[in-house]
A and B are shown apart, each in its own frame.
Chain A
Amino acid sequence: MMIGTASDTVVSPARPNRVTLRKTVISCVVLAAALVLAIVSMSLIGSEQLPARASLCALASLGTSACGLTRDQFDILFQIRLPRILLAAAVGGSLATAGAGYQALLRNPLAEPYLLGISNGAAVGTMIALIFFGASEWTRPLLAFTGALAATLAVYRLARGRAGATPERLILAGVIVTTFLSSVIVFVTTLMDATRIRSFTFWLLGDLSGTSRALLPVAITIAIAGTVALTLNARSLNLLMLGERDAFDLGVEVGRVRIAVFLVASLLVGSSVAASGSVGYVGLVVPHLARLSLGSDNRISVPAAALGGALFVIVADTVARTIIAPRELPVGAITALIGAPLFIYLLRKM
């Protein structure tokens, strides 16, 4: 059996709405171009003024030439701004993809890493890493992943009822796990000394200013790998989205796909939270928008969500770091400010 692109010679009237490879490639290329544009343009914006032309020139040369920028300007551009923007992209892409995965798997457009308690699980894991293994950076994403996974399992266990884990029960279970873990976080926070509380609370709300040199490539790799992994399961997810029974009947290895999605999504959430705290609403709003504009087919909506999420967080973070410059706001506050009204609007359209 040959796998090919949709042919125009099939006997049928005008091709009705379904997602084709062509449509997917075009959408992804457009979004990727927008992403590159955003990366370049947002790196020209910041709390310190940089000469635009020289900066563009330096960026184009990929950092090999300073193009007339002073040493400090060059450092600001390449050591502070660009890594931060790339981290924002990685975090946004990871969270949006994870959200898309949860929504498909749990058959609920409201499933989101934060609502389900996964983000909080990752945050608790990160806190443990910070408190007990402070020096070693690698423990953070590792324990964050473990925390996210533990939260996922807890949610799933709690949600298991007579009729299996219905989406409603899952969301309820998620809310229970979220609030429980929130209390844990508050408890540990109050045990911290006064000055650390302030900085930790800021981090919890989403902070992209940490420039851990070693962890940035990890975050980017995980974002890309996770998106690819989920996209490779997209067709199974398409069927799962319409019911576990139906998917089973049609040949999907439901159990296996479920485990894969949970693992991948936990990894994505864990890596994001370890790097930047809880950036909310990305996993909720971006996949929703992707599905609204491009269709529910995960083959297109998952990569689109990844790219869209990256864009969203880059822009939100630019606002967070410039609007009261030289002070900064937590990026989670901005994503919530943009995301919440957007979400209300989307809900009304539904």
Chain B
Amino acid sequence: MVACASLLAVSFACNSAPQPASDGPVARELTDDAGRRVSLPVRVNRIISLAPNLTEIVFAVGAGDRLVGRTSYCDFPAEAKSVPEVGDTLHPSLERIISLKPQVVLISTASQLEVFTQQLQSQNIAVFVTDPHDLEGVFKSIAQVGEMLGQKEQASLLVQKLRERAGTVEAAVKQKPAVRVFYQLSAEPLYTAGHDAFVTDLIRRAGGFSVTVDVPGAWPKYSNESALAAKPEAIILPTGGSMGAGNSTVTEALRQSPAVLAGRVYKINDDHLVRPGPRAVDGLEELARALHPDAFK
């Protein structure tokens, strides 16, 4: 009797729940960063990542072998390069995604949401948004992805290690006066990191003070005069990674800044600074070492 009732209940639940993923029974629901409740199968074997940082996170929690699709910008770790590409971050190929038969597609920006969700859900493919804006968000992302992929333990181990490293850095620079930092994204036109940029959080934790921290937006085009007037003590030039050659020198307006005069222009791999993933802690360490070399003897 009870068994019948529970069977009935389950079947009702099945009917009223949102479209389940095709592989295996619907076992759980996770809430993503956009507040959506996403239904996922117990075991996720096929996952596609539509952002470089998410690819890194998937590999970092030990589920890299389950990645069946990535964007053309997902270039780390090296194993990622053998995963099939589905296009770029903003306009990936829907056909390619569907043909790869993923169970979940990981996306990081809400702007992709409208475009994809309806189309993918009609194919029984779940869409999960995870969009870290700061380091704490990265740790949360790692935990989320870990839980989703059944790698909870590995994920929490990773988070613990990363937290330790970050904690060490922050403790070392705690007593030091914050260094005035200017992050130059592009020399001409002059672009910098605004309030919402991921790297702004890293700069703060590394014992720096981004002179553009109050500028609204993530990557504003900045006035040359204001850059000059800001008189930064250190300038970060993100290079390598996915940057082109357009940022190899300090912009004209800052050539007489205290940073340049003191030789404090630091080139750091921008993948460590703008990708909200595990390597952000590398970036944090590099930033801190640049800004406060004496704290890390």
- Report which A residues bind B (CB closer than 8 A): 46-48, 72, 75-76, 79-81, 84, 134, 192-196, 198-199, 202-203, 207, 209-211, 213, 321, 325-330
Q: Are A193 and B189 in contact, with the CB atoms below 8 A?
A: no
Instruction: Identify which of A80, A203, A327 contacts B253 (C-beta below 8 A).
Output: A80
A203 touches B189 (CB 8 A): yes
Residues A193 and B244 in contact, CB atoms below 8 Å apart = yes
B226 with A47: CB separation less than 8 A:
yes
Bound complex: CA of A325 vs CA of B47, how far in Å?
43
* Contact A199-B246, Cβ < 8 Å, known A210-B188, A327-B221: yes
Contact residues in A for B221 (Cβ distance below 8 Å) = 199, 202, 209, 327-330
Q: How far is the CB of A233 from chain B (nearest CB, A)?
A: 36
Q: Is the CB of B244 within 8 A of A196?
A: yes
Smallest Cβ-Cβ distance to B73: which chain A residue: A194
Interface size range of chain B in the complex: 20 to 34
Q: Contact at B219–A209, with CB atoms within 8 Å? A: no
Q: Are B215 and A327 in contact (CB under 8 A)?
A: yes
Partner of A198, one of B191, B222, B252: B191
Supposing A194-B242, A211-B253 touch, asked if A327 and B186 sit within 8 A by C-beta, the answer is no
Q: How far is the CB of A199 from chain B (nearest CB, A)?
A: 4
The answer to whether A48 touches B220, judged by C-beta atoms less than 8 angstroms apart, is no
Q: B89 at the A/B interface (Cβ < 8 Å)? A: yes
Residue B256 at the chain A interface, CB threshold 8 Å: yes
Residues on the B chain within 8 Å of A134, using CB: 245-246
Q: How far is the CA of A202 from the CA of B219 in the complex (A)?
A: 12
Report how far A195 CA is from B184 CA in the complex, Å. 12
A36 CB to closest chain B CB, in angstroms?
Answer: 22
- Identify 12 new A-B residue pairs, CB closer than 8 A, beyond the known A75-B228, A209-B224, A211-B253: A72-B231, A76-B225, A134-B245, A195-B242, A196-B244, A209-B190, A211-B252, A325-B226, A327-B194, A327-B221, A328-B221, A329-B221
- Per the bound structure, the CA–CA distance linking A124 and B216 in Å amounts to 32
Q: Does B129 reach chain A (CB closer than 8 Å)?
A: no
- Please determine whether B223 and A47 come into contact, CB atoms closer than 8 angstroms: yes
Cα–Cα, bound, A327→B226 (Å):
9
CB within 8 Å of A: which B189-239 residues: 189-191, 194, 212, 215-217, 219-226, 228-229, 231
Contact of A207 among B89, B189, B244, B246 (CB under 8 A): B189
Kindly state the separation between the CA atoms of A192 and B186 in the bound complex, as whole angstroms: 14
- The answer on a CB contact under 8 Å between B229 and A210 is no
A-B residue pairs, 5 tightest by C-beta: A326-B226, A47-B223, A327-B220, A199-B186, A48-B225
User: Quick one: closest B residue to A130, CB to CB?
Assistant: B246
With contact pairs A48-B225, A80-B253, A327-B223 given, residues A209 and B245 touching in the complex (Cβ less than 8 Å): no
A-side contacts of B231, CB under 8 Å:
72
Chain B residues near A80 (CB-CB < 8 A): 224-225, 228, 253
Chain A residues positioned under 8 Å from B216 (CB to CB) = 327
B9 interface hit (Cβ, 8 Å): no
CB contact between B222 and one of A72, A193, A211, A328 (< 8 Å): that residue: A328
Are A81 and B225 in contact, CB atoms less than 8 angstroms apart? yes
Closest to B220 in A: A327
CB distance from B154 to the nearest CB of A (A): 30
- Known A194-B73, A195-B185, A196-B244: A48·B226 in contact at CB below 8 Å: yes
